[in-house]
Structure 1
Amino acid sequence: MLKRKALASFKRMTVAFNAVEDEGRTSSVLLSLQHSFEMLLKAALVHNNVPVFDKSLGRSIGFDKCLQLSRQEPNIKITDAEAGTLRAIDALRDDEQHWFNSVSESILFIHARAGVTLFDDLLNRVFGERLADSLPVRVLPISTEPPMGLDILIDQEFSQIQELLQPGRRARNEARARIRTLLAIEGHASEESLVSERDVDRVEKGIAQGRPRDAVFPALEQISTAFSGEGPTLAVRFDKKGPPVKFADDNSDAAAIREIDLQKKFHWSATELAKKLEVSLPRLLALRQHLGIDDDTKCFYVFEMGSQKHPRFSDNALKHMRDSMKSLNMDEVWAAHKPVGRGTSPRECPVEGCAQASQKQPS
């Protein structure tokens, strides 16, 4: 049933994309495209016996949680690049549905066509089916313009934003709408893809001050597109290039710093991690100490609420621990790190590569 809903929404997206009427077309395309992927991810999770209901709310999980679980499920294998495509589509849909943005025809096409490619990949990967098997033979994909690489499209959009923000133009709202679109596209390279007004404000300020594109949209420098085939067989895939953007100190360009929802990034509790990795909480702690998880800012964060402290872990932590467990002997890790008084001293670590200097007990 979930897979049928996914296919139904995808077909509605193709109808909306090829509509002659422009009014409301972008909204229809993005709403149906995002919904089709949420249903497909839920179908894939249910197919692999992964629960898709939040017991505390009594409701099915949302798009973000579906994506998180699908990246962790080995039989679904959502890659980083695929996750980026899904985040960008979701972010474009979010502003289109709840506020407004300005999505050019070329940007809409490249994301819709990448959606076709990814939907077919996932359908085949999980269910052994092809998208073409569920589409009528009368479907005729047509585009009056050849596809352009994302870097060219971004350059065009940035130039238009610069023009719109020129003194005397009175086009600030349109410029901000285009800024929202480029911030949403950053979802290809960043786990944080939802657009806040504060992000729009700092980008607008940076562009008005004459900052170059790579200073206000650093994450966009990491995204590349790959095309294969042509016509009905055209496949579009996004990928990341180069090292991730880093800010080493407070002297970094403030126009390039994007707000990050830490609660969204560090969403795993220790109990949830232990359950996911199928180990006890004490053994999870031993593994954390052995790998230095609590000292890694990409893996561990403590939320302070008044006098209470709540340690939380990211998907990076889960992946690092899961991958390490494939080669580690957990009995040796436990023997090396279990509390003093229960056998082996923590300083006597028989595991190769174990760093035990100045260990501290995390919360």
Structure 2
Amino acid sequence: MTAAFNAVDEEGRTSSVLLSLQHSFEMLLKAALVHNNVPVFDKNLGRSIGFEKCLQLARQEKGVKLTEAEAGTLRAIDALRDDEQHWFNSVSEPILFIHARAGVTLFDDLLLRVFDERLADSLPVRVLPISTEPPMGLEILIDQEFRQIRDLLQPGRRARNEARARIRTLLAIEGHASEESLVSEKDVDRVENGIAEGKPRGSVFPALEQISTDFSGEGPTLAVRIDKKGPPVKFAADDQDAAAIRQIDLQKTFHWSATDLANKLGLSLPKSIALRQHLGVDMDQKCYYVFEMGSQKHPRFSDNALTRMRDSLKSIDMDNVWAAHKPLGRGKTPRQCSVEGCARSEG
């Protein structure tokens, strides 16, 4: 009975830490967006935007400059918090510590970048996350967790529930390397089956192979930053063997309409279309996707499209691009584009 109460108490502390960490970042991101004159109130819903929308806007806003690695850390913290609150989950103390410490590091980085303040100016160092054990890289912790899951799934162990709880944690950590961090039961089932079949970690958790950890300082001044490394994960075709294929919500990835994209870039819709044609955005699978609903087709664009177009505007001659790509009358021969890097010319 005592062990059961201790387990419940430990889970409660873990949930409290993750909930507080995630909520603190939501408030910080909203403050940073408001500081840069970005609205955080959704008039249609009649309430403020949620964590995921804050993350999207913070990545796009120049005054916040949230990097992909930083966004990955926040996605992982959010996914861990979500699973800890709504599912039976198991987050080991070392994994909790490294994410808490990485969260504190990132909070300090954002506070300095946006508001020119340091976290230590408001919090004494004695309250920052400190562990009695030397910190280990996330790669080592992931390997340890994988071995434990594999052992728990051995025949006769009767520890399947604990194994699945640990699988959920590793899937949540994939948020460091993948824009889709929502964990589904189908994901857990596929991973469990893959491990039970004896497949290696790299086959079961391919996204985790990309994660690396950087440590600097020590004790209260320890800084932890988690980043991606190596080549990106490849998408598997339907006929290819893959132990764990994440169910990706394409509507979250491709969430910009053509009009939204133009408004965000400060261009008219026709000029935005001309720029897309020049860059070949509509031919890039990472930028463009068409949702089909019956006979209707709805093209949508990802943050990659917004980034490519916004970056190009810093150096491109938009007047020349418009002159070469603006709509033609019927029967007229397409114009030649003299602007360097034109996708139509290269094609």
Gaps of 5+ in 1: 1-20
* Contact 2:255 2:301 survives alignment (8 Å): yes
Paired residues of 2:107 and 2:119 also in contact (CA < 8 A): yes
The 5 A counterparts of 1:10-21 are none
2:57 is the counterpart of 1:69: yes
2:203–2:244 contact (8 Å) kept in structure 1: yes
2:287 aligned with 1:310:
no
Contact 2:105-2:223 at 8 Å conserved across structures: yes
In the alignment, what sits opposite 2:266?
278
Aligned pair partner of 2:337 in 334, 343, 349:
349
CA contact (8 A) 1:347 1:356 kept: no
The root-mean-square deviation of aligned C-alpha atoms, in Å, is 1.9
- TM-aligned CA distance change 1:133 to 1:300, over 3 Å: same
In 2, Cα distance between the equivalents of 1:254 and 1:171? 24
Deviation at 1:251, TM superposition (A): 4.1
Does structure 1 retain, via aligned residues, the 8 Å contact 2:104–2:128? no
Q: CA deviation at 1:338?
A: 1.0
Look up the match of 2:328.
340
Given the superposition, is the C-alpha separation of residues 23 and 220 from structure 1 closer, same or farther in structure 2, using an over 3 Å criterion? closer
Q: In structure 1, what residue type is equivalent to 2:27? A: M
Is the partner of 2:343 in helix, strand or coil?
A: coil
Whether contact under 8 Å (1:88, 1:186) holds in the other structure is yes
Q: Label 1:65 to 1:23 Cα distance change in 2 as closer, same or farther (>3 A).
A: closer
Conserved 8 A contact 2:126-2:220: no
Name the aligned partner's letter for residue 351 of structure 1: V
Aligned residues: 339
Give the deviation of 1:42 after TM superposition. 0.2
2:3 counterpart residue number: none
Residue 218 (structure 2) pairs with residue 200 (structure 1) = no
Task: Describe the SS at the equivalent of 1:276.
Answer: helix
Partner of 1:39: 27
Structure 1 distance, partners of 2:129, 2:280, is: 51
Contact 2:112–2:118 (Cα < 8 Å) also in 1: yes
> Please, which of 218, 223, 233 is the counterpart of residue 230 of structure 1?
218
**Corresponding position of 1:260:** 248
Corresponding letter in the other structure for 1:280: S
**How does 1:38-187 map onto structure 2 within 5 Å?**
38-136=26-124, 139=127, 141-187=129-175
Residue among 302, 310, 318 paired with 1:322 = 310
Higher relative contact order (CA 8 A, sep 6+): 2
Listed as ranges, the matches of 1:213-228 within 5 Å are 213-228=201-216
SS of the residue corresponding to residue 148 of structure 1 reads coil
User: Is this contact kept in 1: 2:79–2:173, CA < 8 A?
Assistant: yes
**TM-score, length of structure 2 as denominator length:** 0.94
Kindly state the Cα deviation for residue 311 of structure 1 after the two structures are TM-superposed. Answer: 0.7
Contact in 1 for aligned 2:255/2:300 (Cα 8 Å): yes
**Within 1, Cα distance between the matches of 2:302 and 2:343?**
22
Determine helix, strand or coil for the equivalent of 1:194.
Answer: coil
2:211 and 2:308 mapped to 1: Cα distance?
Answer: 24
Deviation at 1:248, TM superposition (A): 5.7
- For the residues of structure 1 that align with 2:339 and 2:284, how far apart are their CA atoms? 20
* CA positional deviation for 1:357: 6.2
1:301-334 CA deviation, whole Å, 9 max, x = no partner? Answer: 0111122111100000000000111111111111
